[in-house]
Structure 1
Amino acid sequence: MRNICGSLFSNKKTLKDLIIFASIFGLAIIICCALVVFGATINKNAAETDKCATETVGVTDGLISNLFSTINAAKCELSKPELWPKDYGKVALTTQLDAYDFVIVGAGSAGSVVASRLSDNPKLNVLVLEAGGDPPLEAEIIGLSSTLHRTKYFWTDYAERNQNCCQAMKDEKCYWPRGKMIGGTGEVNGNIFLLGHPNNFDRWVLSGNDGWSWQEIQKIYKRAIKQMPNQLNSQGRLILNNFDPLENYDELTEMIFNATNELGFPQINNTIDGIKIGYTQNILATVDNGLRMSTGKTYLAKVERIRTNLHVIKNALATKIHFSGQGKATAVEFILQDTYKFRVKVNKEIILSAGVINTPKLLLQSGIGPHAHLQKVGVPLIKDLKVGQNLHDHGMLPLMLKFGQDIALPIKPTDMQSIFDFFTQQKGALAASYTLMGFINSKNFSSLNTEPNLHLVSHTLKAKGDPGSFSFLGIKDELVQLFELQTQNFTLLQIMGSLLLPKSRGSVMLRTSDPTAPPLIINNYGNHTEDRVTLLQYVRYVQKLVETKSFRKYDLELVHVPIPECDRIAYDTDEYWYCYVKYFFISSWHGVGTCKMGPIKDTTAVVDARLRVHGVKGIRVIDASIMPDISSGNTNGATIIIAEKGAQMLQEDWS
């Protein structure tokens, strides 16, 4: 079947002719394409043919059949198994696992990079344990990846209730999704690549983490985007491009740029040199030709099939690290396919790249963490460290505005034309994104030389009757219904505001000693007074946008979302908006910090500047959980660079 798909897909002339034909026949053919894409079966028997109003001599049927074949071939090409590493789990079930020099837990944004770089050296053998399997096709299609939430491709966890945040969500619990597949969350995120502000990393150095300055981060980044062959045949690289622009967003872009220009904000052309005050739509992303380019594909899968010293076991949940009497990590225990228990020996090091929740969870399950907590859940202590503390996230606060005047609306990703465009050319709404965003300092809107503390991360249009993120994020049904009653006759502008320098801190702990039990997440969004004040300033800033000539042209008005508790307070007072914050300030899924990097004298640190876990031998943490303080902007970019730097350290130490 794969050969047939490849042959059909490679016929460029046929594809071109069919596209022309489709434009002539228009909507009828596109409807048929949509049916094929979503798995509908076309019954070609005589009974079905009789339903058609017009007879054919067979030419039209043949062309349509060829069109179906071409689109299905494109689907095969986009989802072929060769895009992903082979599963060594099948071998593990039939033979005893050998000892490995390195075992990496997690094949996400960080683990995939580390595995690729470590296996550059043919003298080192590397095993990767990934709790999920291969990504589905929806993960590769940027416009459909959000449909995977709450499926088997996600870790779907919820934090404990908190009176200062997420009160509008079902069960009043913040949602903590993470990707559970090759590529990890990098296979389902927004693809945005931002390194942050220079001060982010220079502050890490000031807190005792030598080698992590902005200058060093820039060097690592420049190396990551280039193919750098050397004596070890280095492979894999960071692939970055701009998104294809969404159609019909020019009018909105002009409106936003004009309004922010009225308030004195410049347009930014480059964010790689560090974010700065202003607005931009020139954002790099991990995409190429309309497809996602996660590190699971561009690093791990690229090398695994050509190297004998790198193995990947999928659907393997790591449950415990074993130690020798001298405190040296010697083995990793894992469960394969929810059934089979394995223990693999490690000669050199175990690398934890399981993410901000699962990395500290595995350390805690293995006896590394706060003594009192481990004693409470019945896990024997190996090393008393502040594992799981310092959890923080940018968080986000949605605001909705309704248009009094018409504005051009974009084509929906699920329109039939969008489906056709994507599967024939990897173009259109399913391959595009709108990335206009702003960076401001809420304490001094007029100053351009300060460090931003607010990220206006999303400006998106929603057609009449579309509740926007209020439905997608898991907001209580009754609040969504009240919101829809107010907005059903209006086109909406949705703006998301995120804290770039959050002060609130939470934790990740164990519920029980059972490694398959969900984690205990306490996120504490909005607990710190300064965070709530900054969010209030964000609301006041959006209100300033509403007063600009550009926004007034469209009669934009901030939507008053009905919240019974908050509506007992005078509307638009500071107290009202603080109430709104505790309902709608939610996770932006940028969690970091639970294995904080810092020197041994820092009693809150878990790893040192070379990412080695304090007080034990043979374990490093290489993922977003090592950040002492969060980077400014979407954290996937910084996580990839952390992985590149961590891999460089491993190469230096074991060359």
Structure 2
Amino acid sequence: MSCCANAPYIGPPLDRTCYGGSFIFFMHLLNSLITKQCDVSEICERINPRPQPDSEYDFVVIGGGAGGSVVAARLSEIPDWKILLIEAGGDEPPGSQVPSMMNNYVGDSQMDWRYRTEPQEMACLGKPGRRCEWPRGRVLGGSGVIHGMMYMRGLPSDYNEWEARGNEGWGYEDVVEYFKKSEGNRDVGDGIEKKYHNIEGPMLVQRFPDRPEMAEDILRAGAELGYPVVEDLNGEQHWGFTIAQANIKNGSRLSSARAFLRPARDRPNLHIMLNSTATRIMIKSNDTGKSISAVEFTSNNQSFTVNVRREVVVSAGAINSPHLLLLSGIGPKEELDKVGIEQVHDLPGVGQNLKNHVSFALNYQLKKIKNYNDLNWDSVKEYLAGRKGPMSSTGVTQVAARISSEYADPDGRNPDLQFFFSGYLAQCSLSGGVKESEDPTKSQAAKSFTIRPTLLRPRSRGFIGLKSKDPKDSPLMQPNYLTDDEDVIRMVAGIRIAQDLANTNVLTRKYGIQMVENNYGDCSQNYTFDSDEFWACALRYDTGPENHQSCSCKMGPSSDPTAVVDPKLQVHGIEGLRIMDASVMPTVLSGNTHATVVMIAEKGSDYIKQKWLTQ
């Protein structure tokens, strides 16, 4: 039975995320069944968007992703404030709430901006046009609806470095309280120490209810190499192998929109516009300086302008936030002049200092494990009956390892590599049914497994710019991957660690793990296989651009000419304009970014309350 008599259409459905024969019918039935699971789809608890805005608001929040959902909800806690949230996408489809479907909506035109970078000289050489793919969520909840749900806070040294760069109040001891403010940890007492966590916050955190046996064996393999196995990388020790915690609720994904916005949906002072894209922030000048005036946006082919009484908060992400500022005439003059936008405010750092993690996938076959499909009617029935089984987790992707290469600090406290793993995932792929390497019709095929070393602190940096003055055009995205040779050296060291892991007794004897060899373009012709030069070539050919873009509107004091926001997240020189997303990070985080973006939004919301509630 459906939760509501008049349940709204929430798309896209799962059947459009898979192609190939009977799997379409299978996914169509699965989507229907998931939609009727009230605790998963929350059909009756969905946001009721407005058809058009009022003419004026106290606060306008641009972007309803990981940060914007938090900001809008927190500001609407003050009944006297009137809030408008503008989100370019729609609401989360029920299918995206199933953990094992974590990748299904990547590349979907309704859910994903489907960004492509500029052609790279040193990376992504095997991709069409040498352009790296950058999936970014275009949906309420943002990229938190299409990512792996892993809850990682980064290293204490990350935040202490932010503070050392002149950002008072952003050291680890300052920010940990804001991590805890959001967190509702359900694993406290099960190897998770309460002093590092909170159990009462809206953003639930816990381990997945299902864990394939291989996940535990990866931990044993790490221990065999001498690495520590820890219960909590967000606790006392921040390096080693672990079964990571995730943002889930009763076996389903918990995005920040679901955690923060849905409980606030009936507040009369919170208005939400979906499928609406901000096109310009309007600034006014007077004798005392520059300040916010209004926001222009489009929705359903209509243009709107809303006046702003107090502040605009931009939470559009590390790509779209600098893009919107540039479209509004805020940024370096040379970038604006290229496309004929008049400069309104000179800020040289807008779009600069772009950082992103980089990775490389080593693919293996488990020769002793006969291939089978983890997504079948048995796993569906198990999930529907009790939110258990393979569909309630991300397979071995829930394993995380944060460790040091030979080039990192020898004490291991500031690891420079993170390892991700893939396999045993109950999903279908966009390319057709199940992945070819796990096609159950190929009875002799072995199960597949991937190890992905990832560089946490790359030296290469890029920028976000403009292709045109048309807001409908995507921004210019130039990451400049692997332009610093040290990034390549450290990544090759990470590849060697991955190989050592695959060669451990526990993985070779039990699984018969065997690397899938690849030519990587002409790398095998130009270099001896398995030499450092070969892997450096392979890395440049098959670069894995992680989805942790950040630092493009970096936080810093007024003495830093490249800083865009001050330590209270206010844009330098413009009263009433703040940014709260990954773009404000001064340096790239040593880990997944989602939890930190939520923390930034929590802390930024408090800065706003401290200012306006004391006047």
TM interval, shorter chain, is 0.7 to 0.9
Q: Which amino acid letter does the alignment assign opposite residue 336 of structure 1?
A: S
| Alpha-carbon distance, 1:115 to partner | 0.9
**Equivalent residue in structure 2 for 1:454, among 417, 428, 448:** 417
Per the alignment, residue 244 of structure 1 pairs with 209
Aligned pairs (5 A) from 1:122-161: 122-151=79-108, 152-161=110-119
Residues in 1 aligned to 2:59 and 2:430: alpha-carbon distance in whole angstroms? 44
**Equivalent residue in structure 1 for 2:331, among 353, 359, 369:** 369
Aligned pairs (5 A) from 1:257-276: 257-273=219-235, 276=238
**Equivalent residue in structure 1 for 2:265, among 304, 309, 334:** 304
TM-score of the aligned structures, taking structure 1 as reference length: 0.81
Residues 1:313 and 2:273 aligned together: yes
Residues 1:532 and 2:497 aligned together: no
Per the alignment, residue 57 of structure 1 pairs with none
**Equivalent residue in structure 2 for 1:324, among 255, 264, 284:** 284
Provide, for residues 14-61 of structure 1, a one-character-per-residue CA deviation record: whole Å limited to 9, x for no partner. xxxxxxxxxxxxxxxxxx9996861499xxxxxxxxxxxxxxxxxxxx
The percent identity for this pair of structures is 31
**Equivalent residue in structure 2 for 1:114, among 71, 84, 98:** 71
Provide, for residues 534-562 of structure 1, a one-character-per-residue CA deviation record: whole Å limited to 9, x for no partner. 11101121232344333442443333212
SS at match of 1:324: strand
| Alpha-carbon distance, 1:360 to partner | 0.6
Task: Say which structure is richer in helix.
Answer: 1
Runs of 5+ in structure 1 lacking a partner?
8-31, 42-67, 228-234, 482-486
Aligned pairs (5 A) from 1:393-404: 393-404=356-367
Provide, for residues 206-233 of structure 1, a one-character-per-residue CA deviation record: whole Å limited to 9, x for no partner. 0000000111111112222269xxxxxx
**Equivalent residue in structure 2 for 1:640, among 566, 586, 598:** 598
Per the alignment, residue 64 of structure 1 pairs with none
Aligned pairs (5 A) from 1:326-341: 326=286, 327-337=290-300, 339-341=301-303
Runs of 5+ in structure 2 lacking a partner?
8-21, 186-199, 438-442
Residues in 2 aligned to 1:254 and 1:112: alpha-carbon distance in whole angstroms? 35
**More deviation, 542-551/606-615:** 542-551
| Alpha-carbon distance, 1:122 to partner | 0.9
Residues in 2 aligned to 1:426 and 1:77: alpha-carbon distance in whole angstroms? 10
**Equivalent residue in structure 2 for 1:566, among 523, 526, 534:** 523
Per the alignment, residue 292 of structure 1 pairs with 253
Per the alignment, residue 428 of structure 1 pairs with 389
Residues in 2 aligned to 1:649 and 1:519: alpha-carbon distance in whole angstroms? 30
Aligned pairs (5 A) from 1:578-597: 578-597=536-555
Residues in 1 aligned to 2:513 and 2:3: alpha-carbon distance in whole angstroms? 54
Q: Which amino acid letter does the alignment assign opposite residue 107 of structure 1?
A: G
| Alpha-carbon distance, 1:407 to partner | 3.5
SS at match of 1:541: helix
In structure 2, the CA distance between the partners of 1:2 and 1:258, relative to structure 1 (3 Å rule), is closer
| Alpha-carbon distance, 1:298 to partner | 1.1
Per the alignment, residue 22 of structure 1 pairs with none
Per the alignment, residue 418 of structure 1 pairs with 379
| Alpha-carbon distance, 1:492 to partner | 2.9
TM-score of the aligned structures, taking structure 2 as reference length: 0.86
Per the alignment, residue 360 of structure 1 pairs with 322
In structure 2, the CA distance between the partners of 1:536 and 1:621, relative to structure 1 (3 Å rule), is same
In structure 2, the CA distance between the partners of 1:277 and 1:617, relative to structure 1 (3 Å rule), is same
Per the alignment, residue 17 of structure 1 pairs with none
- Contact 1:389/1:594 (<8 A) preserved: yes
Q: Which amino acid letter does the alignment assign opposite residue 319 of structure 1?
A: T
- Over the aligned positions, Cα root-mean-square deviation in angstroms equals 3.0
**More deviation, 346-355/448-457:** 448-457
In structure 2, the CA distance between the partners of 1:33 and 1:422, relative to structure 1 (3 Å rule), is farther
SS at match of 1:285: coil
- Contact 1:6/1:73 (<8 A) preserved: no
Per the alignment, residue 404 of structure 2 pairs with 441
| Alpha-carbon distance, 1:446 to partner | 11
SS at match of 2:258: helix
SS at match of 1:438: strand
Q: Which amino acid letter does the alignment assign opposite residue 162 of structure 1?
A: Q
SS at match of 2:457: coil
| Alpha-carbon distance, 1:260 to partner | 2.0
| Alpha-carbon distance, 1:6 to partner | 11
Per the alignment, residue 517 of structure 1 pairs with 473
Per the alignment, residue 178 of structure 1 pairs with 136
SS at match of 2:558: coil
In structure 2, the CA distance between the partners of 1:4 and 1:108, relative to structure 1 (3 Å rule), is closer
| Alpha-carbon distance, 1:262 to partner | 2.3
Q: Which amino acid letter does the alignment assign opposite residue 280 of structure 1?
A: T
| Alpha-carbon distance, 1:153 to partner | 1.2
| Alpha-carbon distance, 1:79 to partner | 3.2
Q: Which amino acid letter does the alignment assign opposite residue 318 of structure 1?
A: A
Q: Which amino acid letter does the alignment assign opposite residue 127 of structure 1?
A: L
In structure 2, the CA distance between the partners of 1:552 and 1:72, relative to structure 1 (3 Å rule), is closer
Per the alignment, residue 440 of structure 2 pairs with none
Residues in 2 aligned to 1:566 and 1:72: alpha-carbon distance in whole angstroms? 45
Per the alignment, residue 556 of structure 1 pairs with 513
In structure 2, the CA distance between the partners of 1:87 and 1:4, relative to structure 1 (3 Å rule), is closer
**More deviation, 447-456/127-136:** 447-456
Per the alignment, residue 49 of structure 1 pairs with none
In structure 2, the CA distance between the partners of 1:226 and 1:440, relative to structure 1 (3 Å rule), is closer
In structure 2, the CA distance between the partners of 1:448 and 1:253, relative to structure 1 (3 Å rule), is farther
Residues in 2 aligned to 1:133 and 1:347: alpha-carbon distance in whole angstroms? 27
Aligned pairs (5 A) from 1:27-46: 38-39=28-29
Q: Which amino acid letter does the alignment assign opposite residue 210 of structure 2?
A: P
| Alpha-carbon distance, 1:458 to partner | 1.6
Provide, for residues 470-503 of structure 1, a one-character-per-residue CA deviation record: whole Å limited to 9, x for no partner. 979xx9xxxx99xxxxx98443321011111111
SS at match of 2:477: strand
**More deviation, 563-572/211-220:** 563-572
In structure 2, the CA distance between the partners of 1:360 and 1:274, relative to structure 1 (3 Å rule), is farther
In structure 2, the CA distance between the partners of 1:275 and 1:162, relative to structure 1 (3 Å rule), is farther
Residues in 2 aligned to 1:572 and 1:559: alpha-carbon distance in whole angstroms? 12
